[in-house]
Amino acid sequence: MVHQFATPHGVVAAARIPDAPDPVPDDVLERLPGAEADYARTLRGYRQVQFVGGRIALRHAVGQLGMKCGPVLSTPRGAPRLPAGLVGSVSHKRDLAIGMAARDNGWTLGVDLEDFEPARLSIASRVLRPAELADLDGLPDAQRWIAIVQRFSLKESIYKALDPYLQRYVAFEEAEVRPDLQGSAEVALHLAKGEGPFEVSSRYEWLWGRLLTSVRIRPRQDS
């Protein structure tokens, strides 16, 4: 069962996947394009389930754009390699896989899905910059956790959208994120190697009790 909806960044497709490490049945693998199915057969357990779920969702999103794509393998850095003319991104958590796709109009795309359980407030100091931590000062724990997940997830989406440009590990302190109350966020990049400048557009929304974020990035046009 795949559910889809449009966002200003692209089409999102969400596929329910089994929250279990059992092998993906052959009749499901056979529906993937050849090289993608061959790769999926090399994977085991949850990794196989998540890869297949992510590719089913991504292909569904591409189809909703009125486009088609053959096998989507991964770049050496792990990103989904889409054909020319398309950009896309994948995220999966337990029983849900998300694929997001858009026509390539100069923006790269990153998507991330996060659970709110269990709360791990202690990650804040590892993933947030001092100014972000200051924004959370005084919040009760429940709100604080939501604020941490928002920033964490937006950074994961930023990481994925930046990857085609930077092709390197980007640390959490290299982005500062300030979500507003309307489903978007202000993002300031502090890239360690001074790359850019980039234009960043970011969104967040709740999806079945989880948080879905997406980010698109392009080189700044006025530079």
Ligand X SMILES: CC(C)(COP(=O)(O)OP(=O)(O)OC[C@H]1O[C@@H](n2cnc3c(N)ncnc32)[C@H](O)[C@@H]1OP(=O)(O)O)[C@@H](O)C(=O)NCCC(=O)NCCS
Q: Which residues bind ligand X (CB under 6 A)?
A: 50-51, 54, 74, 77-80, 90-92, 112, 155-156, 158-160, 163, 170, 172, 174-175
Q: What is the rounded CA–CA span in Å between residue 11 and residue 205?
A: 14
In the complex, minimum distance from the CB of residue 101 to ligand X, in angstroms, rounded to a whole number: 12
Can the peptide bond before residue 140 be classed as cis, meaning omega within 30 degrees of 0?
no
In the complex, minimum distance from the CB of residue 28 to ligand X, in angstroms, rounded to a whole number: 15
Rounded to a whole number of angstroms, the distance between the first and last alpha carbons of the chain is 44
Nearer to ligand X, 77 or 220 (CB): 77
Nearer to ligand X, 64 or 162 (CB): 162
In the complex, minimum distance from the CB of residue 79 to ligand X, in angstroms, rounded to a whole number: 3
Chain centre distance of CA 216: 10
Which amino acid is it at 36?
E
Nearer to ligand X, 132 or 163 (CB): 163
Nearer to ligand X, 140 or 193 (CB): 193
Nearer to ligand X, 64 or 175 (CB): 175
Q: What is the rounded CA–CA span in Å between residue 111 and residue 126?
A: 21
Return the CA Rg of the chain: 17
In the complex, minimum distance from the CB of residue 174 to ligand X, in angstroms, rounded to a whole number: 5
Given a contact cutoff of 8 angstroms between Cβ atoms, the answer to whether 99 and 58 are in contact is yes
In the complex, minimum distance from the CB of residue 197 to ligand X, in angstroms, rounded to a whole number: 16
Nearer to ligand X, 42 or 140 (CB): 42
74-80 long-range contacts, Cβ below 8 Å, gap at least 24?
77/163, 77/167, 79/160, 79/163, 79/164, 80/54, 80/55
Of 38, 14, 13, the C-alpha closest to 26 is 38
- Measured from each CB, the residue nearest to ligand X is 78
In the complex, minimum distance from the CB of residue 116 to ligand X, in angstroms, rounded to a whole number: 14
